[in-house]
């Protein structure tokens, strides 16, 4: 991975950690996820006339990607419903790069080098350590675990689809903007069908935080999709998960939250993975 791509992906990870900190707006999980999807779509919409139009062959990839992103968001809400965020989120995020690595090697012929594999395993291992930390003295229940792993499968799927789709499109920017708008439309339809007007009633009160989180999330994933076209998808997917490292740092240094030994061990593994990716 070239130095500019490496730095860009780390910046994307920092943005990812940033929007996760900003999006604490007092909404329920389903409303927070919907708010983020709508904010991203509304921010992307004005750019559509100005971005390069994706190649026609990329249209199926954009459609499938939007569906997969919706599936990810719906499963994530269920994972949060049946398990604590501190357990479900790292389980979902840490497992996804491993799935991407296996599928990339088996079906795309993108076999990682030993150094790249070591980096992927260290980063994913560090993230997964957090999911085994007891929350409130209890382990994650089976239902929560299943939804977290389902979320990981959706994450791995849209990562691969977006990585290939952006290359087919010939423009990472055009691809991501059209996909985000379509994702927002699908999420709005799904939320309206499931919850009616109640799904949208509380969103305006969290508008400023939602726009800020949406902008950071869109920027973070735009960088990631661009990086998918410049470097091995599995390595980029793994390096994105260093957002957990930044989240731990933000929690400790900015929010003054207590950070226990398990998190410092996880952070050390992730940091070693980052170093391994650049040796």
Per-residue pLDDT of the chain (279 residues; tens, 9 = 90+): 778 888 888 888 878 766 665 555 456 777 778 888 898 999 999 999 999 999 999 999 999 999 999 999 888 888 877 777 667 777 887 888 889 999 988 888 888 888 888 888 888 888 888 777 655 556 667 787 888 889 889 999 999 999 999 999 999 999 999 999 999 999 999 988 888 888 787 777 666 777 787 888 899 899 999 999 998 888 888 888 877 777 667 666 665 666 667 777 887 888 888 888 765
- The DSSP bridge partners found for residue 135 are 138
Rounded to whole angstroms, the maximal C-alpha distance in the chain is 53
Report how far residue 129's alpha carbon sits from residue 120's, in angstroms, rounded to the nearest whole number: 14
Burial of 86 (0-12, 13-18, 19+ CB in 10 A): middle
Q: Please choose, from the candidates 36, 33, 27, the residue with its C-alpha nearest in 3D space to the C-alpha of residue 212.
A: 36
pTM tops 0.75, yes or no: yes
On the 0-12 / 13-18 / 19+ scale of CB atoms within 10 A, 153 is middle
- The tokens describing 153, both together, are 């499968």
d(CA 76, CA 248): 20
């Amino acid at each position: 991975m070239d130095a500019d791509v490496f730095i860009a992906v780390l910046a994307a990870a920092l943005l990812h950690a940033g929007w996760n900190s900003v999006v604490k707006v007092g909404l329920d999980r389903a409303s927070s996820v919907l708010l983020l999807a709508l904010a991203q779509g509304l921010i992307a919409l004005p750019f559509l006339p100005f971005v390069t139009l994706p190649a026609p062959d990329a249209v199926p990839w954009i459609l499938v990607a939007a569906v997969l992103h919706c599936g990810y968001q719906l499963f994530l809400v269920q994972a949060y419903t049946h398990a604590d965020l501190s357990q479900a989120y790292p389980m979902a995020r840490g497992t996804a790069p491993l799935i991407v690595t296996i599928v990339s090697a088996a079906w795309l012929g993108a076999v990682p080098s030993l150094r790249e594999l070591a980096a992927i395993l260290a980063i994913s291992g560090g993230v997964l350590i957090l999911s085994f930390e007891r929350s409130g003295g209890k382990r994650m229940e089976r239902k929560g675990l299943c939804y977290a792993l389902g979320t990981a499968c959706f994450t791995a799927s849209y990562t691969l689809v977006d990585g290939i789709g952006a290359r087919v499109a010939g423009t990472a920017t055009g691809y991501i903007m059209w996909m985000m708008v379509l994702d927002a439309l699908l999420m709005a339809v799904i939320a309206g069908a499931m919850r009616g007007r109640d799904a949208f009633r509380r969103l305006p009160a969290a508008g400023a935080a939602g726009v800020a989180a949406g902008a950071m999330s869109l920027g973070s994933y735009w960088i990631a999709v661009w990086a998918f076209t410049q470097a091995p998808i599995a390595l980029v997917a793994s390096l994105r998960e260093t957002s957990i490292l930044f989240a731990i740092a933000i929690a400790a240094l900015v929010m003054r939250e207590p950070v226990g030994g398990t998190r410092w061990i996880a952070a050390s593994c992730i940091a070693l993975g980052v170093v391994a990716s650049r040796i």
